[in-house]
Structure 1
């Protein structure tokens, strides 16, 4: 009799707990307050084709080239100092502004010390700092030190896009009802998207600094939740043929996968010619990648691209 009563009370307790969890989960999905300014809501951002570029006059093309400047927000930690040093020595030189944000002081390399151990709180601080010090920069690229980026291809992707519109793009994924851009493959924000994000940081109900009590979302998902409250949605960056430009895997992994899935056309099945990012490479592989992207050229082949994105003045770049 006693055991039956005990089982009954245990069932009541577990049932109540289950209802509480369901209630909390149902209240988690943010509803967006949309208005006329939030009509920018699609899920594929494509780079212009060569035919589209021919429609621009030379003066308009030069104007666009001068306007597309990228601020790189690179999140680092002293325990990954080899990756950090590699990012300093390779692709970050091609950013118009590159700022490294660290979790704790480091005497070896220069960075903004945010003095914050929590990943999401640290990213928030970095984004606020980047916004407050943006100057005339209107595109923002968020990356980990383990990511390799080709900034010129990013500029090509957003060339004709208006940064006063709320763009949030990269490799878009879905988790339940939440669409988000994966952190490993890099995240791009326009000035308008970053402005809305910084504003919603002030609302702890919509965008809590320390996350939720019952579970902890990754930084990229938490970022998507906060942006969604402002009417900004994740969009997939693609080339003119619909191929994704932001890769969470290395070139080696992508080629191996293509050899297995597309043995008759490995190159075409691998990745876009205009890829913006790769991830999962060792520091030495990043150095090799830098050589392949910026130095290796077949003699006798002219590069007749209609765009020329010059590296930042005074930059010690490849």
Structure 2
């Protein structure tokens, strides 16, 4: 026969478990009710076979329709990286400008008069929009420690409508907020920038300064402002589900892949269509440039779906 104490304890356990289930279900329901109706999803690159089915004229028109303006956020302490980016991958942007916290004699830049990352990003986007909104349909924001393969970015964006509010990169979750990590680069369509500019005029929703009590990083602040206008961070992947925006260097990713499975280093490391790598030194930038644009395997022929031509009069590789 079960004692009264035993019955009481059993009742407490059952009741506690029931409350826990109800609480969890309640949180799930509240989460859907309170949030803007948006199912987070991962955006993938176009299928190569579909692109190959297009006519030569259609492919040429597509390749010319993707125009990327690169916004490099820089500070004087990053001069060596700044120089490396100028001499390497940034030459493949349709146009690249450097937005600096202060005036630097060595390189041309657009001064934003602040070292706060959110204020720098905010001013850079506003300036770029005012001057170039009619020329470019995609805006790529990066730091000087990031290496980007712009042709892969253009291919990824190939069949996406820039008038729609795309906000793409390597997403990170922080509580209820999904944001694109600046380390891997941030891509904004002109549609998303249109919405962002409008909310920037509402200080209660998109303040110029970050958190008052605690500091909010620039990439998180950007995500919060965009969220007010229904623009959500989307993780970019290739057709196999691998990330194409990387917040680590190739070397680090290879080491991690070797530790996870030494027999599948290539498969476990990086996408063949990778767009960015981060945390690079100036010397590593040059190595990446050699590997991506200059090294060729004699006799090996790639069958690219289309070709992105460099900007006119550029001296890029």
Assess same fold via TM > 0.5.
yes
Give the unaligned 5+ runs of structure 1.
1-30
C-alpha distance in 2 between matches for 1:140 and 1:96:
10
Please report how far the alpha carbon of residue 132 of structure 1 lies from its aligned counterpart in structure 2 after TM superposition.
1.0
C-alpha distance in 2 between matches for 1:170 and 1:188:
6
Name the counterpart of 1:284.
Answer: 283
Deviations 1:175-201 (A, max 9, x none): 001000000000000000011111111
Alignment of 1:1-318 (within 5 A): 42-134=40-132, 135-318=134-317
C-alpha distance in 1 between matches for 2:40 and 2:58:
26
Partner of 2:262: helix, strand, or coil? coil
**Cα distance change on mapping 1:68 and 1:314 into 2, 3 Å:** same
Name the counterpart of 1:17.
Answer: none
Please report how far the alpha carbon of residue 57 of structure 1 lies from its aligned counterpart in structure 2 after TM superposition.
2.6
TM-score, normalised relative to structure 2: 0.87
Q: Is the Cα–Cα contact under 8 Å of residues 73 and 100 in structure 1 kept in the other structure?
A: yes
C-alpha distance in 1 between matches for 2:219 and 2:312:
32
Q: How many residue pairs are counted as aligned between the two chains?
A: 283
Q: Is the Cα–Cα contact under 8 Å of residues 71 and 95 in structure 1 kept in the other structure?
A: yes
Please report how far the alpha carbon of residue 121 of structure 1 lies from its aligned counterpart in structure 2 after TM superposition.
1.1
Larger radius of gyration: 2
State the superposition RMSD in angstroms: 1.4
Q: Is the Cα–Cα contact under 8 Å of residues 93 and 315 in structure 1 kept in the other structure?
A: yes
Q: Is the Cα–Cα contact under 8 Å of residues 170 and 246 in structure 2 kept in the other structure?
A: yes
Q: Is the Cα–Cα contact under 8 Å of residues 32 and 229 in structure 1 kept in the other structure?
A: no
C-alpha distance in 1 between matches for 2:298 and 2:118:
47
